């Protein structure tokens, strides 16, 4: 019943030569530093997650690092991603930001370093630093977040190393099929943030209907839909039972009809910021 490559939490995709990223990892946005994020990551690792997504902006890298250290899991079995924040961009800024993140995480390298939001005036110099960080082996792969098609095309026109990942808002109400197709045909692994719409997928009747048929939850059906599209994802919860629920997506398969039903729910509706407005400076954090 399982699709090839969709059998367990250790299923991974090659995002760059020799670098494999778990298709389903654990997000940590809004998990507070201290017990909250440490418990989250500890439970996630106990339950079999091996990918962890954090960011300098989340203010919780220290807690993520402590939980990783306490887990005793060999470093090479883990996949840790973090991000350079908007006001850290530029060549020197990015080099220094990465050093601070590694310090807070207590790690010698991260597996994936991401530009958090497009800042077009800085992208060229930021990317030069990202490439340098990779050549110094402080990061194993480099990528971006919230890059729309024009941002990606612009970056790919001058990048010596293309972005391995584009982490974007992606869920049943915001599918961005053109971006998904572009990523799929250009070797960029798309990764969905807010995959379960921060819980709101349980308000969508088509999804609750499919969930009832399979004896699964709306979050599980949505995560399975994302994975069956070949997209990777990082759902977040600070509750052990939900962390387990979000990982329990390997014992069922959505039919083509069910996939099409969820595909038809796209409304182009964002829960988060519009990358174009952040990029142009019209909107700021």
Ligand X SMILES: NC(=O)c1ccc[n+]([C@@H]2O[C@H](COP(=O)([O-])OP(=O)(O)OC[C@H]3O[C@@H](n4cnc5c(N)ncnc54)[C@H](OP(=O)(O)O)[C@@H]3O)[C@@H](O)[C@H]2O)c1
Nearer to ligand X, 222 or 258 (CB): 222
- HEC string of 257-282? HHHHHHHCCCCCCCCCCCHHHHHHCC
Hey, which residues does 19 pair with through a beta bridge? 16
The window from 15-23, 90-98, 120-128, 233-241 that contacts ligand X (CB under 6 A) reads: 233-241
Question: Does the annotation count 109 as an active-site position?
Answer: no
- Return the residue of 15, 22, 27, 65 that touches ligand X, per CB under 6 A: 27
The Cα–Cα gap between 109 and 122 comes to: 23
* Least separation in angstroms between CB 48 and ligand X: 16
110-115 sheet: strands from edge to edge: 26-27, 51-53, 79-84, 110-115, 139-145, 165-169, 189-193, 232-233
- From residue 140 to residue 169, the character string flagging contacts with ligand X as x (rule: CB under 6 A) and all else as - is -----xx--------------------x--
CB closer to ligand X out of 135 and 167: 167
Binding residue (CB under 6 A) for ligand X from 6, 19, 20, 29? 29
The full DSSP string for 176-220 is -HHHHHHHHHTTPEEEEESTTGGGGGGG-HHHHHHHHHHT--HHH
- Write the interaction track for ligand X spanning residues 95-114; mark x where CB under 6 A is met and - where it is not: --------------------
Residue in the structure block whose two tokens are 């595909």: 263
Nearer Cβ to ligand X, position 27 or 163? 27
276 binds ligand X (CB under 6 A): no
Long-range contacts of 147-150 (CB under 8 A, 24+ apart): 147/115, 147/118, 147/275, 148/118, 148/179, 148/275, 148/276, 149/178, 149/179, 149/182
- The residue annotated as part of the active site, out of 49, 58, 113, 250, is 58
Nearest to 15 by CA among 167, 153, 128: 167
Other CB atoms within 10 A of residue 60 CB:
25
Interface with ligand X includes 231 (CB under 6 A)?
no
3-state secondary structure of 118: coil
Segment interacting with ligand X (CB under 6 A) among 25-33, 94-102, 121-129, 182-190:
25-33
CA distance 283 to 285: 7
The residue among 34 and 135 lying less far from ligand X, judged by its C-beta, is 34
**Position closest to ligand X via CB:** 27
Size of the site for ligand X (CB under 6 A): 26
CB atoms inside a 10 Å sphere around CB 234:
25
Interface stretch with ligand X, choices 89-97, 118-126, 175-183, 240-248 (CB under 6 A): 240-248
Site string for ligand X, 191-230 (x = CB under 6 A): --xxxxxxx-------------------x-----------
235 interacts with ligand X by CB under 6 A: yes
Structure-block tokens of residue 76: 């090479």
Catalytic residue set: 58
Which residues make up the interface to ligand X (CB under 6 A)? 27-29, 53, 116, 145-146, 167, 193-199, 219, 234-239, 242, 245-246, 272
């Amino acid at each position: 019943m399982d699709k090839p490559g969709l059998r367990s939490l250790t299923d991974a995709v090659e995002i760059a030569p020799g670098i494999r990223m778990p298709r389903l990892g654990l997000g940590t946005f809004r998990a507070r530093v201290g017990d909250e994020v440490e418990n989250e990551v500890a439970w996630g690792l106990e339950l079999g997650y091996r990918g962890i997504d954090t960011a300098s902006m989340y203010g919780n890298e220290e807690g993520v690092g402590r939980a990783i250290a306490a887990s005793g899991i060999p470093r090479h079995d883990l996949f840790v991603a973090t991000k350079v924040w908007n006001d850290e961009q530029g060549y020197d800024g990015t080099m220094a930001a990465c050093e601070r993140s590694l310090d807070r995480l207590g790690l010698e390298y991260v597996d994936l370093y991401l530009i958090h939001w497009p800042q077009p005036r800085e992208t060229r110099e930021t990317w030069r630093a990202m490439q340098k960080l990779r050549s110094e082996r402080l990061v194993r792969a480099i990528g971006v977040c919230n890059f729309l098609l024009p941002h990606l095309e612009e970056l790919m026109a001058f990048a010596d190393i293309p972005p391995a990942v584009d982490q974007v808002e992606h869920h049943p109400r915001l599918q961005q099929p053109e971006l998904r197709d572009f990523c799929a045909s250009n070797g960029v692994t798309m990764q969905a943030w807010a995959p379960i719409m921060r819980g709101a997928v349980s308000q969508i009747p088509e999804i609750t209907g499919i969930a009832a048929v399979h004896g699964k939850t709306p979050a599980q059906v949505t995560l399975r839909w994302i994975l069956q599209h070949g997209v990777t994802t990082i759902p977040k919860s600070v509750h052990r039972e939900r962390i387990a629920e979000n990982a329990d997506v390997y014992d069922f398969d959505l039919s083509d009809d069910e996939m099409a039903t969820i595909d038809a729910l796209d409304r182009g509706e964002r829960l988060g910021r519009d990358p174009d407005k952040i990029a142009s400076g019209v909107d700021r954090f």
